[in-house]
Every structure is written in C-alpha cells, then in structure tokens.
C-alpha cells in the first residue's frame, strides 16, 4: 500500500476539485435549501458528474464502468465534500449501485447499472429503522413468502437519496430474530410499486432523505439482490465501502471549513491586529490542522485496504470513520467559535458545514460505535 497519488489520481483530484469550485459553490446548496427543493439536488448536475465519469469509477468494465477503486472514489467525494454537493452519490452509486454490482442477478444489473452509470436514474438503499441506531441487523421490516412473491411490511427512516429515487433496495427479515445477522434479505422495489410510500424527511443538513413505508408491498423473487437470508453480509460489505466514500466527503468538508476559518483569522482585526496573531487561536488552528492531516492519511489508507481486500480493512474503515467524525466536528465547532457571532448567523456558510458534520457523523456509525467495533475486531 502506498499513500501517495499516482499521475492519473492527481489529475482526477485536480479535475474534481476544479469542477466543484466552478460549479458547486455553497450558494447552490443554500438555494436548494431555501427553495425547499424536494429532491435536494440537481438532476442536471448529477448528469454532468456522470459525464465526468464519477459514477462509473467503481463499477467493473463488464458492467460499463471503469473498474477503478476506492482510492479514486475518495478523491471525488472529497471534492464534493468541499462544496457540500448534495448529489446522490452515496445512495445511488455506493449503496444501491454497489449492492447490485456485487449481488445483483445479470438481469437486475443489466436493467439498472447502465442508467446509474449514465446518471439517468437515482437509486437508494433503505436499511435504517427507528431505534436501530447503527445496527443494521435490528430491523422489524418483514418479508413473507407467498406463492410467487414476497410480501413486505415495515418502515425505514432517513433513507439516503430516497425521495424521488427510481428504485429503492429494502432490507427485510425473511427469517431469524431482531438483531441476528442471518435471515436478512435485500429486495429491489421500483418507485410506484403499490403499497410503498416515500415521504421526504427534513434534517438539519437539508439533504435528500426519506421515510419509506411499506404496506403489503408485493415483490417478485427475481428482485432479490444477493442471496435470501444473506443480505446482512452483503449490506455490511457495501456499507463499509460507502463509509469510506463518506469519509472522503467529510475530509473535503473539514478542509473547506478550516480554510474558511484560517482566512478569517488572517483578516479579522481586533485590538488593532488580525486575530490570527493571538497564540490562543494559533495553537487551536495548528491542532485542527494536525487532525485534518491524520484524517487524510487514514482515509487514503482505508480506501487502499478495501481495494486490496486486505485482512485489516474493517479495522481501518472504523479508524477512518471515527477519526473523520471527531475531526469534522472539532473543526466546525472551532470554526463557529473563531468566527464569533458571524459563525452563528445563517448568512455565513460555516453553519452548513457544522450541520453536515453532525449528519455525516451519525451516518454509518459515529465515533463511539466505530471504537467499539475496532476493539471487537482487535479481540478486546
């Protein structure tokens, strides 16, 4: 594993950062929020991102992708994180797309992966339920076998990129008890299927998340993604990858928030000097810088261990998520403190990063959750 960008990666990094800088300033996110845009992102922008190849990075060449890895994905999500670009990368590409890519039948892959890569269709993965916190096995949604189909009943919350999605993959229990890893199955349900209601939920970060209610939804067996009863394992694998993609986004977000703070420290004058001359603030800025540097290293490493399918990949995924969660919160909390009253206003962009930091922290497990998982994986 080498923690350095090769020439192609350096180019991708530069292109992605420039694209976001030129096309996705915070004013865009602000407008989507102020308009109460139900989709929360721009379909046109998503299409442009697809044209840049971002949606195809991780998919195999057979499926029409580039066959690259997480080392490349985190460069794209980092750029998106800098501008808080809300396009449905996590839901469509990392969760539903990867679940299909790994576990989907040839028919399902044929039907869905092309449109995903083209940026034509958005998909989502509904795995989270109220009260389940970060444990994907604690689900009450059930799927009962009928003669030819499965009948799904249940409710999923905060489904990432779920509102307006063309299809939603739902985790449901086909056997076993609440909390058991075995007995979970993933079902792909196209939008408009009778009995499925998708309602937009509004969180502090105004991202597209949805409440998905299932009342006797009939799903044919052919829409099962992966193996019956083994959906939990597939979901874990996909979520680990998505976690690192999210870490890339968090790294970009904390870097941008830090740059903003640093700029303010150099221009804000009090007591006739810029406040960046004060040692109390200098030291705190230096500490934030250290945390961001450490986060960068572990995000690069986690991406590469996933690409290499290394034995310690889960340990590094947890290390990366715990680090990025803590660092993003530290940096954005400090940013508001250093910006003073201005940091508390809605007019200042820093609040957007602080809100996103919290939402990202509590997606795929917070720092405490990942420390617990880390310790368990280490055998203590």
Task: Write out the residues near another protein by the rule CB under 8 A.
Answer: 2-4, 262, 265-266, 273-274, 276-277, 279, 281-283, 285-287, 289-290, 293-298, 300-301, 316, 318-319, 322-323, 368, 371-372, 374-376, 378-380
Residue 183 in contact with residue 153, Cβ under 8 Å? Answer: no
Shortest spacing between CB 325 and another protein, in angstroms: 11
Compare residues 222 and 277 and give the one whose CB is closer to another protein. Answer: 277
For residue 89, the minimal CB distance to another protein (Å) is 25
From the CB of 327, what's the least distance to another protein, in Å?
Answer: 10
Tell me the sheet residues that pair with 230.
Answer: 184
Closest CA to 140 of 182, 184, 96: 184
CB-nearer residue toward another protein: 100 or 302:
302
Strands annotated E in 181-230: 184-190, 196-201, 209-220, 224-225
Selection from 45, 51, 38 nearest residue 24 by Cα: 45
Angle among Cα 93, 94, 97 to the nearest 5 degrees reads 50
Shorter beta-carbon distance to another protein: residue 58 or 324? 324
Query: What's the closest the beta carbon of residue 273 comes to another protein, in angstroms?
Result: 6
> Other C-beta atoms within 10 Å of 112: how many?
25
Looking at the Cβ atoms of 194 and 379, the one nearer to another protein is 379
Smallest gap from Cβ 372 to another protein, in A, equals 7
Closest separation in Å from C-beta 12 to another protein: 16
Contact residues for 88 (Cβ-Cβ < 8 A; gap 6+) = 41, 46, 122, 124, 160, 161, 165, 208
**CB of residue 364 vs another protein: minimum separation in angstroms?**
16
Give the Cα separation of 364 and 249 in Å (integer): 13
**Quick one: 78 or 87, whose CB is closer to another protein?**
78
Which one, 292 or 354, has the nearer CB to another protein? 292
Residue of 322, 339, 247, 330 lying closest to 287 (CA atoms):
330
Element holding 160 (H helix, E strand): strand 149-160
Instruction: Find where tokens 């969660």 sit.
Output: 325
Which of 114, 132, 133, 106 shows the shortest CA–CA distance to 55? 114
Strands 123-126 and 167-173: parallel
Please identify, using beta-carbon distances, which residue of 187 and 374 lies nearer to another protein.
Answer: 374
């Amino acid at each position: 594993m080498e923690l350095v960008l090769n020439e192609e990666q350096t180019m991708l990094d530069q292109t992605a950062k420039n694209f976001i800088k030129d096309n996705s300033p915070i004013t865009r996110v602000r407008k989507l929020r102020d308009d109460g845009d139900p989709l929360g992102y721009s379909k046109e922008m998503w299409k442009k991102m697809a044209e840049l190849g971002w949606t195809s990075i991780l998919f195999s060449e057979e499926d029409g992708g580039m066959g690259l890895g997480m080392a490349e994905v985190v460069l794209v999500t980092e750029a998106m994180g800098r501008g808080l670009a809300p396009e449905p990368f996590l839901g469509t590409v990392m969760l539903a797309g990867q679940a299909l890519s790994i576990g989907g039948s040839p028919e399902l892959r044929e039907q869905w992966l092309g449109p995903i890569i083209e940026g034509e269709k958005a998909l989502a993965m509904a795995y989270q339920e109220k009260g389940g916190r970060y444990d994907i096995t604690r689900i009450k949604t059930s799927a009962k076998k009928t003669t030819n189909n499965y009948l799904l009943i249940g409710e999923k919350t905060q489904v990432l990129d779920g509102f307006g999605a063309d299809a939603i993959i739902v985790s449901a229990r086909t056997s076993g008890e609440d909390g058991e890893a075995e007995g979970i199955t993933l079902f792909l349900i196209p939008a408009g299927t009778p009995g499925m209601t998708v309602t937009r939920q509004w969180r502090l970060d105004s991202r597209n998340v949805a409440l998905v209610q299932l009342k006797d939804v009939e799903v044919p067996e052919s829409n099962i993604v992966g193996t019956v009863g083994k959906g939990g394992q597939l979901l874990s694998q996909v979520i680990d990858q998505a976690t690192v993609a999210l870490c890339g986004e968090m790294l970009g977000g904390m870097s941008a928030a830090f740059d903003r703070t640093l700029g303010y420290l150099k221009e804000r004058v009090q007591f006739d000097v810029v406040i960046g001359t004060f040692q109390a603030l200098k030291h705190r800025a230096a500490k934030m810088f250290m945390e961001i540097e450490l986060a960068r290293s572990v995000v690069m490493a986690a991406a590469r261990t996933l690409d290499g399918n290394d034995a310690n990949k889960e340990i590094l995924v947890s290390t990366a998520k715990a680090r990025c969660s803590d660092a993003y919160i530290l940096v954005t909390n400090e940013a508001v403190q250093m910006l003073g009253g201005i940091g508390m206003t809605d007019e200042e962009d820093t609040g957007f990063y602080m809100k996103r930091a919290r939402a990202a922290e509590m997606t795929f497990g917070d720092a405490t959750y990942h420390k617990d998982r880390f310790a368990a994986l280490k055998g203590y």
